[in-house]
Chains A and B, each alone.
Chain A
Amino acid sequence: QQQVKQSPQSLIVQKGGISIINCAYENTAFDYFPWYQQFPGKGPALLIAIRPDVSEKKEGRFTISFNKSAKQFSLHIMDSQPGDSATYFCAASLEGGYNKLIFGAGTRLAVHP
């Protein structure tokens, strides 16, 4: 049972463009939605996270948009750079559930110069 669905599976963007990755979840009790970034040969690392009491969170070039009624959230990378080329995972967790994260399938982003 896939509780967090992520799309697209892969994405190619030109340098300076906007990268958009989408996720949808099923469990309305989820209350924490992070995005993780993984470079080849490394473990994932937290990029940015949001809670359902806000609709948007921005950190530098990275923005999470959150739509509670649609049970969807997305990551926008503005002015995408070749250094952003990585695999991105959305996730969700439930407070009181030992904080265990349920991950999406991942999106492999390639930013071409």
Chain B
Amino acid sequence: DVKVTQSSRYLVKRTGEKVFLECVQDMDHENMFWYRQDPGLGLRLIYFSYDVKMKEKGDIPEGYSVSREKKERFSLILESASTNQTSMYLCAIQGTLNTEAFFGQGTRLTVV
């Protein structure tokens, strides 16, 4: 069974706080992704990484950064949380040759 584990199911943070969302996989997959999910907008790609220490911007990277120091761990960082970053955040993994993406259970972040 593929495991993609996100560190928190629910988070409440204050405006201006620095927020870390963690994602850990047990599949040794090269590609890792961070999406945010909002009603009516689907899943939008924030950042992805195809190797350790490598990162690429997705469609909505503004206000976010990422870190991948180890192959199994991909972190999403909100440098200074704002209320418009209140959303569901989903981590996903994919192998290089395998097109199926496996998702974590999501982190619902509320910024107050």
A44 to chain B, nearest CB (A): 5
Residue A74 interfacial (CB < 8 Å): no
B9's nearest neighbour on chain A, judged by CB, is A41
Q: Mark B72-112, 1 if CB is under 8 A from A, else 0.
A: 00000000000000000010101010011111111000000
A49: chain B residues within 8 A (beta carbon): 99-100
Give the B interface residue count (CB, 8 A).
26
B97 to chain A, nearest CB (A): 9
The main secondary structure of chain B at its interface with chain A is strand
Interface size class of A (residues with CB under 8 A): 20 to 34
A6: chain B residues within 8 A (beta carbon): 42
Q: Mark B26-70, 1 if CB is under 8 A from A, else 0.
A: 000001010100001111110010100000101000000000000
CB pair A99–B105 under 8 Å, yes or no, is no
The residues in A between 56 and 102 inclusive whose CB is less than 8 angstroms from any CB of B are: 89, 93, 98-102
CB pair A98–B42 under 8 Å, yes or no, is no
CB pair A44–B43 under 8 Å, yes or no, is yes
Most chain B beta-carbon neighbours within 10 Å: one of A36, A43, A102: A43
Task: Tell me the total A-B contact number using a CB cutoff of 8 A.
Answer: 60
Residue B21 interfacial (CB < 8 Å): no
> What are 27 pairs between A and B in contact, CB < 8 Å?
A6-B42, A9-B40, A32-B99, A36-B101, A42-B106, A43-B4, A43-B92, A43-B104, A43-B105, A44-B103, A45-B103, A49-B99, A49-B100, A89-B42, A89-B43, A93-B99, A98-B56, A99-B99, A99-B101, A100-B31, A100-B33, A100-B58, A101-B43, A102-B45, A103-B35, A103-B44, A106-B42
Not counting A9-B40, A46-B100, A98-B56, a sample of 11 additional A-B residue pairs whose C-beta atoms are within 8 angstroms of each other reads A41-B105, A43-B92, A44-B103, A46-B101, A98-B50, A99-B94, A100-B31, A100-B58, A103-B43, A104-B42, A106-B43
